[in-house]
Structure formats: C-alpha cells, structure tokens
Amino acid sequence: MRNILTIALHTVKLEIRDRVWIALLAFALGYVGLMLFLSQLVLRELPMVNAFALLGVYFFNVIIAIFLGTTLFYRDVERKTVYFVLAKPVSRREFLLGKFFGLCAAVFLTSAVLAGAYLIVIAAAGGGFGALGLLAILMQFLEMSLFIAFAIFVSTFSSSLLSVMYTSAVFFLGYLVSSLVSDARRAGITGIRYILVNVLYYAFPNLAKFNIRDIGVHYVADPWLSFGLAFAYAAAYIILLLFAAIWIFEKKEI
C-alpha cells in the first residue's frame, strides 16, 4: 500500500507540472470565466448559464482524462521511469494502481478548481450555491475515473495513438449504448443482430448513467440515488478494467 501511495503522489506532482495540463486547465478556467461575462450580456437566464458552464467543465475534464490516461504509460517507458521503479521492490500491480490513483487525483484536482470557478459563475448569475451542480461535477469525476481505468487498460497492449482512438471510441459508444436495446426492439430487430446489440450494450460502459447535468441545471429531482447507483456501476467497471490491465501488464515484456 505504501508503494502505491508513493507512486500516486509522484504521479500527481508530475502531472500538475505538465505544460499541457496547465494549458488545458487555463483554457477551461477561461471558458468558465467567459460564461461569467456572457451571463451579463447574452445568457441572461440562469438555466442557460448553468448548462453551458457544466458542459464546459465536462468537456475539458474529458480531454484532460483521455490525455493523461493514454500518454502517461508511454512517457514512463520513454523516460525509462518504469524500468527504474520496477527495479525496486515494487510489483507491476502496485505500479499500475499507483498510476491510476495518481491520475484520478490529478483529475480530481482539476475538477475541484473548475468547480470553484463554476460556483463563482452561478453565484454571480444569481443562482446562489449550486449544490446540485457540484454533484453533477462529482458524477463527471466518476466518469473520468472510468475513462482513466480504460485508458490504462488499453495502454498495456497498444500504442499511445491507438489508446487515444480506443478511449475516444468508448466515449462516443458509451452514450449510444443506453438506447441501443430499446431502439432495437422498436425497430423489430431479432435473432443474431439483437444478440449483437445486447453484447454491445453490456460490453461498453453506459455513460448516460453519469449524466445528471439536466438535474443540476433545472433542479427538478433528488439525484442521490442516481449517484449511488452510478458509483457502484463505476466501481465495478474500474475494478474489472484494472484487474485486466494488471493481468496483461504482468505478462508483458518491457
């Protein structure tokens, strides 16, 4: 456990010094700041300000999570960091888990900074304390953690470019699978094609489970049950992905 924590802390320090991470965070803060400006000129209704602000936070979180998750492993190989670490009494399992928790911590730090900017925008727009909006950002963090786990998984057997492509594909498919089965039933699809639709539905993560931005915008329901279910769903997927990543990495020659 100590090795995992040490690697996680080192990973966080490494990522927050990365120029790309700093640039993306600066762009994200600039976007949220733009919402503060536009709220006085164009987006005069609070739901619109809230929607655009949450969408910006989500967009930049996705970019940062995919970038960090798909490039870190190869940067460690190029810099020979992985050889240096594994030469010590550190197992490959501890190395991967440390990287995962470190990347999650870096994304959480990003989410916390953007959440602070979001609260300032909502308060300035007359919305008071955006508690449900904060919960929506927390749900986004769960989704980003799943992205990081998947990115680490594919990084153990593919190149950096392919890892980006695979993770991006999962992002788009993850929002399509939520309606696949119902659409197939309405279309009258049966037989092998319907079985294939069900395979896709259960194979890819259903990212719609993490999307409560509408609730955060319109304040129409208590989302705590949705959060609990999404947390359990994300935890199950992350454990499976990390288990598979560790199994592949332990058999991989580096």
3-state secondary structure 64-121: HHHHHHHHHHHHHHHCCHHHHHHCCCCCHHHHHHHHHHHHHHHHHHHHHHHHHHHHHH
In terms of pTM, does the model score above 0.85?
Answer: no
Looking at the predicted structure, is the pLDDT value of residue 248 above 80? Answer: yes
Amino acid 18 reads D
pLDDT exceeding 70 applies to what percent of the chain? Answer: 87
Q: Region 9-15: what's the mean pLDDT?
A: 83
Kindly indicate the confidence band of residue 242, based on its pLDDT and cuts at 50, 70 and 90: very high
**CA–centroid distance for 107 within its chain:** 8
114-142 mean pLDDT: 78
Provide the 8-state DSSP code for 196: H
Under the banding of pLDDT at 50, 70 and 90, the label for residue 100 is very high
Instruction: Give the per-residue pLDDT at 214.
Output: 57
Indicate the range of 9-13, 81-85, 102-106, 235-239 predicted with least confidence. Answer: 81-85
pLDDT at 18 over 70: yes
User: What is residue 24's predicted lDDT score, i.e. its pLDDT?
Assistant: 78
Reported confidence tier of residue 219, pLDDT bands at 50, 70, 90: low
Q: What is the pLDDT of residue 221?
A: 56
pLDDT above 90: percentage of residues in the chain:
7
Per-residue pLDDT of 155-214, as tens digits, reads 888 877 788 888 888 877 777 776 776 777 777 777 787 777 777 777 778 777 777 655
Calpha distance 231→98 (Å, rounded) = 21
As a whole number of angstroms, the distance between CA 212 and CA 118 comes to 16
Write the pLDDT tens digit of every residue in 79-90.
777 777 777 788
Q: How confident is the model at residue 217 (pLDDT cuts 50, 70, 90)?
A: low
pLDDT-derived band at 238 (thresholds 50, 70, 90) equals very high
| 22-64 per-position pLDDT tens digit | 887 888 878 777 777 776 666 566 777 777 778 888 888 888 8
As a whole number of angstroms, the distance between CA 108 and CA 100 comes to: 12
pLDDT for residue 254: 65
How many CB atoms sit inside 10 A of residue 209's CB? 19
